[in-house]
Amino acid sequence: MLHTDNITILQKPVRLSIIGKYLGQLLIVLAYLTLIPLAASLYFMEYSFTIRYAITEIILLIAGLPLSRINASANIQNNEGLVITGLIFILTPLIMTIPMMGSGLDFIDALFETVSAFTTTGLSVATELQLQPLTFLFARSYMQWIGGLGIVVLTIALLLRPGIYLRKLVELNENEDIVSSTLPYARRIFMVYVLLTVICIVMIWITCGNFFNAVTHAFSAVSTGGFSNFDNSLAGFDSPFISISVILGCIFGALPLLLYFRIRRYPFWTFFQDAQVRAITYFILFTSILLFIVLMHDSHIQTTEALYHALMMAISAQTTAGFSTIDISLIGAHGMLILMIAMFVGGSLGSTAGGIKLYRILIFWRALHHMLQKATATPHAVIAPRLAGKNLEIDEISKALLVILLFFFTIIFSWLVFLFAGHEPIAALFEVVSATGTVGLSSGITSVDLPYYLKLILCLCMLLGRLEFIALLVLAYPLTWVNRRSRA
């Protein structure tokens, strides 16, 4: 009892003034960002979307301006930063349902589409995409581009003043010798993100000759989102070179973005000295080989075609982009299981990719190796777990293992709901892993006919996976909001 009381004394609930002020600033940022699809609707002369985006702008400004003027402290607590992040990723999809419903989707389907966009998942209930309004297609990919980097990072980079409190809004994954403060971090990430996007647009435009398709697919590729303008994803292109240029963009986004700054100071080959870069390369090669064998043996696809699809699907799953060059039903149960492992692991920490992240897999492996070393060493031996030449802290190991465990339990519980609804086990598991890993590959379950409660389950999986659980758990934790000492 005494231990619990001591913890209670140390706990500090969030301050509503802090939440309101910085949430208001983020809503104003979102209003600025929404001007882009509004302008696109004017350019495409799809004025029904223009009206909806104008209404959205008014709502964002009416809500954001008063909140942003609240007089609040600049010293933000950890729980406040997490609550703000969680709220913006919940409120943004809700608000953006207004323009998305302009395509004919009802509220739940529009919400599913916006959650999928901002979490960079790519699962979609929209059909006949070639016939959809251009504003709708552009806005989906643009939302993925925003979500890939994170509205919070964009805000820090463009508007908010520097300060230690900003560290609480963006968890820095890089060492202090690389990044000295949050503001330079955000600016560097933003510059890299824009540059990679421009390069990807140019590559796709050269190969396909269609600027609109180049822009929308580049937005989705660099953000590892996976929205395409075709119902059959990359298979809708008439040339494999176009698909390859899109997949290259996915690789760009799935690597630690700050590593690109090494290219300016060190030889290019040093890029591959990073543990995560090597890990994602090995994982992609391993997954490609297994998929190639499955496509040859189970699906009886010709060698050249099987090699192409195996490599493209392996990259798409590992980077959590979710683009597809082949119908998932053609790869069979064995192929789906292989892709599920890749989707679960995901891309690099410090990238736009989803999944549990390769860095956490490396931490898990080093922790396991450390345990085996300790078991075979003398009792008084001092052996510290190390990764990439540095000692791993206990908190770092604990957090990595906790995220892996939360991913696992979320997938299991969500899968059980789909099983009770009567869906085939492997297909249901594939869909849940894809949603939680924010991948977007579909076994065919996600559709406009999917019951609403299952769509909402997938929405929750996408949000939990994108925010890596902690922000939403803190948001729902009662002591985040209530000071128990005042009630004693």
Q: What are phi and psi of 387, to 5 degrees?
A: -145, 130
Q: What is the mean pLDDT of residues 239-248?
A: 95
With tokens 């208001």, the residue in question is 24
> Residue 191's pLDDT is what?
85
**From CA 6, how far away is CA 18, in angstroms rounded?**
25
Higher pLDDT, 133 or 270: 133
Q: Are 224 and 321 in contact (CB under 8 A)?
A: yes
User: Please, what is the average pLDDT of the chain?
Assistant: 86
pLDDT at 426 over 80: yes
Residues 6+ apart with CB under 8 A from 299: 306, 330, 331, 332, 335
Q: Map residue 163 onto helix, strand or coil.
A: coil
Q: What is the DSSP string of 196-215?
A: HHHHHHHHHHHHH--HHHHH
Confidence at 79, pLDDT banded by 50, 70, 90: confident
Q: What is the pLDDT of residue 151?
A: 56
Q: Per-residue pLDDT for 180 more than 80? A: no
- The pLDDT, as a whole number, for residue 162 is 42
Section 278-297 average pLDDT: 94
Tens of pLDDT, residue by residue over 127-174, are: 899 999 999 999 999 999 999 887 546 555 444 444 443 444 444 444
C-alpha 246/C-alpha 248 separation (Å) is: 5
pLDDT tens digits, one per residue of 318-369? 999 999 999 998 898 999 999 999 999 999 887 889 899 988 888 888 888 8
Q: Which pLDDT score, from 0 to 100, does residue 165 have?
A: 38
Residue 275 has pLDDT above 80, yes or no: yes
- Please state the length of the chain: 488
Q: According to the model, what pLDDT value does residue 248 have?
A: 96
What is the reported pLDDT for 485? 54
Q: How far is CA 162 from CA 74, 155, 180, 427, 428, in A?
A: 10, 11, 12, 47, 45
CA 326 vs CA 300, 309, 370: distances in Å = 14, 7, 41
175 pLDDT tier (thresholds 50, 70, 90) = very low
pLDDT at residue 257, rounded to an integer: 82
Identify the residue with better confidence: 144 or 190: 144
- Mean pLDDT value across residues 298-310: 91
pLDDT at 149: 80
pTM strictly above 0.75: yes
Select the more confidently predicted residue: 183 or 287.
Answer: 287
* Secondary structure of residue 390 in the 3-state scheme: strand
Q: What is the DSSP string of 301-366?
A: --HHHHHHHHHHHHHHHHTT----SS-GGGSHHHHHHHHHHHHHH-S-TTSS--SS-HHHHHHHHH
pLDDT on residue 109: 96
CB 216 within 8 A of CB 122: no
For the segment 16-70, what is each residue's pLDDT rounded down to a tens digit?
Answer: 998 999 899 989 989 999 999 999 999 999 999 999 999 999 999 999 999 999 8
pLDDT at 481: 86
Indicate whether 11 pLDDT > 90: no
- Model confidence at 256, pLDDT cuts 50, 70, 90, reads confident
Q: Which residue would you say has higher pLDDT here, 126 or 268?
A: 126
Q: pLDDT by residue (tens digit) across 371-424? A: 888 878 777 777 777 776 677 778 888 888 999 999 999 999 999 999 999 999
pLDDT greater than 60 at residue 433: yes
| C-alpha–C-alpha distance, residues 483 and 12, integer Å | 7
Share of the chain above pLDDT 90, in %: 59
191 alpha-carbon distance from chain centroid = 19
